[in-house]
Amino acid sequence: MPLAPKPEAFPRIRSALSFYRITAYVTGVLLLLLTIEMLFKYLGGVEIELGGPFGFLALVPEGTSTAVNLSTGILIVHGWFYVVYLIADFRLWSLMRWGLGRLLMLAAGGVVPFLSFFVEHRTSREVNGYLAAREAELASRAAAAPAATSDPTVEASH
């Protein structure tokens, strides 16, 4: 059985979960934009141009962009943000002490359209539920334990 997260790590787990959630949503949105861009490029033969002679945003034939090629920009931004997303995945995964399969599932969220939203929802629900259950368990153990004094000399004198 894998080791359980230590109670001292719970605040770091919550922080890692928040960071993971943000990166999951940003990566998911960027991946959807990238998917749309790829459909334009490979099915329509056009790229997205920003601020060119055809207007603020325009679809131009592939390879003819004279202004900012937004298609390439989306590709680059998603690629670099996916690296940040992987860091968030690894941080949460290592703090929760999950198996390798879970890390691979988290990582797949950044390359399969829409998957990051589903994995994020499931992961957030699971981590929050786990933390709540563990904290309740620790609190009930503390309440059930005999009241110990903080002064060791009192116990020694009995």
Q: Are 34 and 74 in contact (CB under 8 A)?
A: yes
Q: Specify the long-range contacts of residues 46-55, CB closer than 8 Å, at least 24 apart.
A: 47/71, 47/72, 48/74
**Cβ neighbours of residue 22 under 8 Å, at least 6 residues apart?**
88
The domain spans of the chain are: 13-138
pLDDT in tens, the chain (158 residues): 458 898 999 999 999 999 999 999 999 999 999 999 999 999 999 999 999 888 898 899 998 888 899 999 999 999 999 999 999 999 999 999 999 999 999 999 999 999 999 999 999 999 999 999 999 998 888 888 765 555 555 555 45
Q: Give phi and psi for 98, each to the nearest 5.
A: -85, 170
Integer Cα distance of 89 and 32 in angstroms: 19
| Total-model pTM | 0.83
What pLDDT score does 1 carry?
A: 41
Q: Are 96 and 13 in contact (CB under 8 A)?
A: yes
